[in-house]
Structures are given as structure tokens and as C-alpha cells.
A and B are shown apart, each in its own frame.
With several copies, the nearest count.
Chain A
Amino acid sequence: MNTHPKKLLVLIGEYALEKFLIRDAKRFGAHGYTIADVRGGGSHGTREADWEGSRSIRMEVICDPEVASAISEHVLRNYCANYSVSMYVTDVAVLRPEKF
């Protein structure tokens, strides 16, 4: 199997941010994204998705390291002060590097 290293950036945050995160990810060069509805808890309390104000999403972006850096720094600078957001990056291998 001929694989190629990429980064997987995962963003977990309020549903209200969804459209902004999609827009930003594209702007900084991501070719795609995947979003799941989640619930969770952290420093901003419990978000149970029982009500529209407490819905959360988990967004995955497979991309190059520079893109991951650019998106995550943008998110850190612009959203983390005022919104519940968690982020992490991990290494993944993909088969079709041109796709991501």
C-alpha cells in the first residue's frame, strides 16, 4: 500500500460556528471536511445537545501540515476566546495525496 502522510485536524465546538469553520477551512486551503453531531463537556460546562443552544459538532479536516496550522491558528485567534472549541492534530496516511 503506497501511502502518503497528511495531517488530520479535528475541531470540536459549538454548532453556531459550523458555517464559519467550513468557510475558514476552505479559505485556508482544505479540500474537504466531515462533520458529526456530538455532545460533550469541558471547561465551559456540559453541552448535552438537548436544546439548540447546546448542540456541538466535531469537524475533521484531512490536509497538509501548513493548512492545518493555518486553520488552527486562525480558530485559536478568532474563536477560542469566546466560544467552546477544542482542537487537536494527528498524523494520518492517505492513499490519494492529490485529493486532500
Chain B
Amino acid sequence: MRLDPVILFFLLGFAARFWDSDLKLPEALYETLSIYLLLAIGLKGGVELAKHPMGTVLPQAAAAMAMGACLPLLAYPALRHLGRLNGFDAASIAGHYGSVSVVTFAVGVSFLVKREVAFEEYMPLFVALMEVPGIVVGILLARMTGSAAAPAVLARPAIQWGALAHEIFLGKSVVLLGGGLAIGWFAGPSGLEPMSPLFFGLFKGVLALFLLEMGLVAAARIGDFRRAGPFLIGFGVITPVLFGAIGVLVGRATGLSVGGATLLGVLAASASYIAAPAAMRIAIPEANPTLSIVTALGVTFPFNLTLGIPLYHEIARRLIFP
């Protein structure tokens, strides 16, 4: 099996940093690439959404959101009891895995396109919808169980839901994905046509550059593996497999095609490293951000890119056309 070339860019970045190259992407480029990817994925989804009857899409969307909210509830007890993490860390990591990784999704799409597997083109809608619920549930878990368990320095007052909702729903990734969806939906294919060389033509190349950067970032965190310990490394491999299978099953149950179910599996299996870290840092400051980042970005992300995506596709194929 040949690796998708975008993954080679990840490996190049990883190797460069691992061997201590002085290659660095300017921070402004990193931000630009991530803004571009979020917006382009949203636009793509919005354009496709306009073509489909809401009656089909809405139940699937509701199922995807519900799944995103439930996944942290599975992850949390494992982290707490098997991994013996404190309540804050367990809740934060669970929230990262409830949310989704936009870039893993994009690589999943590229995987299907290369194999000419069809999928529901409005899948980017689910990316936008699944970003938030997992994070919210993670925060709730921290508030409910964490406060008793951990040595909180502060007497924590009642949760400021308004501020929190603001933090999450107006975070850059939700705004760009959601805004892109809305613009794409409103403008339609013909409206976006003049912008398609930028937003659609360059997409794959920009994804490659972003993966180069993510390789650099992931390799820079290798030193933190020790701090994460073997449990979290195992967690970072096993969770996506389980969640990926759940995602495929939910996809099947809601009538998605093989390709669509694969992508729902990819979303379930992926862990957020744009929206979730930012939100968690504010909402659960007691959680150690190193642990969630090493697990999500250092373990699960490369696992999904290389082994996970083909695996979820295989599961979808066998499940849906057995």
C-alpha cells in the first residue's frame, strides 16, 4: 500500500525536527494555513449542503453531535480508573477525543478520493457540528468530578456558562468552519466559482504544507512522551480504534454510504488539537496541557494518518457491504 503523499510531508517534518534540523515554519504561516483549511473545508461543505434535502441531513447531523457528546463519557472512566489520572486531566483528555481533528478529516477525504470511493459531500458539516459537543462534555466532567478530586488552589465559583459558551462557540475554528459553511451554503457553487482556484484548487497542497508543520510540532513533543507514560501512549492508539468503529457503526445506522461512514469513523477516532486545547486551557486550567497534546498530536494523529484511516475504511466496507 502506497502512502498518500500528504503523509510524506508529515514524515519529512517529523524527521527534520527529530534530527534537530533548523527548519521552522514562521508562526504567521502556521496560522494562515490553519485559517485557510478551516475556511476551505467549511466552504466546501456549505456548497454541498445546499444540494441536499435537509430531511436526510438533519437526523445524521443530530446523531453525529450526540455521538461527539457521548464519546468523552467513554473515555473519562478509562483515563480516571485505568490510567489513574486526576479528574482534571482525565476530563480534559476526554474532551479532546470527543472533539475532532480537521486535518485528519481532510486526509481521510484525500484517502477516499484517491481510491475513488464516493461519500456524502456535505460531511464537512459534521466536522463543524462535532467540534463543540465533546469539548463541552469534557468541561462538564471536570466541573462535576474534578473539583473534588484535585488540589484546586482556588475556591472555584459557580461555572460562568455565558463566558464559557462564548469561548467555545466564538473560538476561531468554530467561526471559520461555521462561517465557511454559511457562506458556501448561501453563495452556492456558482457564487464560489471565482474563488475556487484559491479555496479548492490549492487545498491539497496547503494540506501538505500544514502536515509538514504538524510533523515539526509533533516531533518537538517527543521529549514529553516520558511525562505521558505508557498508559497514555496505549490510550492514544486504542481509543481511536474503538471510537473509529463506533463512528462507522453510527454512520451505518444513519444511512451513510461506505465513504461517509468511513469519514464519520475518522471524525470519531480523531482528537482535536486546534479548538480543544485552546478551550480547555481556559476552562480547565488545572489540567496539564502537555498530556493531552502528546496523546492527541504525538500518538493518535500519526496513528490515524497512517494506519487508522485505512482501518476505518476497511471496517466500513465489511460492515456495510459484508
Contact = CB atoms under 8 A, between A and B. Distances in A.
A52 B217 CA distance: 10
B290 A16 contact: no
Given A48-B220, A78-B154, A53 B289 contact: yes
Interface in A40-59: 45-46, 48-53, 55
Nearest to B151: A81
A30 B124 CA distance: 45
Given A16-B278, A51-B30, A55-B27, A45 B217 contact: no
Contact of B293 (A16, A49, A53): A53
Contacts of B220: 46, 48, 50
A51 B153 contact: no
Given A19-B22, A51-B213, A82-B153, 15 more contacts: A16-B278, A45-B223, A50-B24, A50-B25, A50-B213, A50-B216, A51-B30, A52-B277, A53-B281, A53-B289, A79-B285, A81-B153, A81-B154, A82-B285, A83-B285
Interface residues of A, number: 19
Interface of A: 14, 16, 19, 37, 45-46, 48-53, 55, 77-79, 81-83
A19 to B, nearest CB: 8
Given A55-B27, A78-B154, A81-B153, A50 B281 contact: no
A45 B25 CA distance: 20
A49 B27 contact: yes
A45 B290 contact: yes
8 contacts: A45-B290, A50-B27, A50-B216, A50-B217, A50-B220, A52-B274, A81-B154, A82-B285
A14 B216 CA distance: 20
Given A50-B27, A50-B30, A50-B216, A14 B281 contact: yes
A37 B26 CA distance: 12
Contact of A82 (B30, B213, B286, B293): B286
Nearest to A46: B220
A92 to B, nearest CB: 25
Contacts of A79: 285
Contacts of A53: 273, 277-278, 281, 289, 293
Contacts of A16: 278, 281-282
A20 to B, nearest CB: 8
B31 interface: yes
